[in-house]
Amino acid sequence: NAGVTQTPKFRILKIGQSMTLQCTQDMNHNYMYWYRQDPGMGLKLIYYSVGAGITDKGEVPNGYNVSRSTTEDFPLRLELAAPSQTSVYFCASSASSVSYEQYFGPGTRLTVT
Amino acid sequence: QKEVEQNSGPLSVPEGAIASLNCTYSDRGSQSFFWYRQYSGKSPELIMSIYSNGDKEDGRFTAQLNKASQYVSLLIRDSQPSDSATYLCAGHNTNAGKSTFGDGTTLTVKP
């Protein structure tokens, strides 16, 4: 039982490049989330999903896209990377019927130069 | 006004003391509340959840919730150097299906 896994751990992008951050959970959780965390700050919600085929915008969705074709996977797509997207990205999941405690992946540290 | 506000700290306590972390929230639709601990360079991990008014104790940790005052707190008894971390408070709005996090309070426990 691996919990929530994220790849890659680190990435450096040039301005204008695109990439996909992968997130997979093996706990059969319906809810999945993408956050970004800037230095010294809390977590800002980018996108979330309450189940396969359903996604919704969070607090800071601009410049990102998501899809949720399966319960397990919730990839985050960055199009036309900008320096403002330099951050640490965390994926999380939670079970909806019991509690809303979130379990986090190890994070992806992204630098855009 | 942020939806979830925490004292930014840093908070410093001596080993063995009680550390008190506070959080206020503005969204009355939030019904579930959580405390996460985040060590430097690591991901957040859940340490306490609380859903109803009152106190909830788990080992050295006690969470307190007062929905009328929109206030959540975390007490850490017998603080240890290993408790040194940033503590994130979060409120979950069930109808919206999402949680809102505070910016965290950094705690340092000095030996």
Chain B residue numbers touching A40 (CB-CB < 8 A):
103
Nearest to B1, CA basis, from B26, B35, B32: B26
Q: Nearest to residue A90, comparing CAs of A110, A72, A70?
A: A110
Tens digit of each residue's pLDDT (9 = 90 or more) over A55-89: 999 999 999 999 999 999 999 999 999 999 999 99
| CA distance to partner chain B, nearest, from residue A2 (Å) | 15
Q: What is the mean pLDDT of chain A?
A: 94
Q: What distance in Å separates the CA atoms of residue A10 and residue A108, rounded to the nearest whole number?
A: 5
Predicted pLDDT of residue A97: 57
Confidence of residue A40 (pLDDT cuts 50, 70, 90): confident
User: How long a stretch of residues is chain A?
Assistant: 113
Q: How far is A76 from chain B (nearest CA, A)?
A: 17
Local structure of residue B18 (DSSP, 8 states)? P
- Per-residue pLDDT, A95: 86
Residue A2 has phi, psi (to 5 degrees) of -85, -15
Contact A33/B103, CB-based, under 8 Å? no
**End-to-end Cα, chain B, rounded Å:** 36
The answer to whether the CB atoms of A50 and B97 lie below 8 A apart is yes
Q: Which of A100, A101, A104 to probe by mutation at the B interface, max B CB count within 10 Å?
A: A100
Instruction: Inform me whether the pLDDT recorded for A93 exceeds 80.
Output: yes
Position B12, amino acid: S
For A80-91, letters b (16+ CB in 10 Å) and e give: ebeeebbbbbbb
Q: Which residues of chain B have pLDDT under 50?
A: none
Strands A10-13 and A108-112: parallel
Q: How confident is the model at residue A39 (pLDDT cuts 50, 70, 90)?
A: confident
Rounded distance between C-alpha atoms, residue B81 and residue A104, angstroms: 24
Residue A108 pLDDT greater than 90, yes or no = yes
Of B50, B26, B25, B24, the C-alpha closest to B36 is B50
Cα–Cα dist A92/A87, whole Å: 16
Check CB contact of A3 with chain B, cutoff 8 Å.
Answer: no
- pLDDT at position A98 is 59
DSSP B101: E
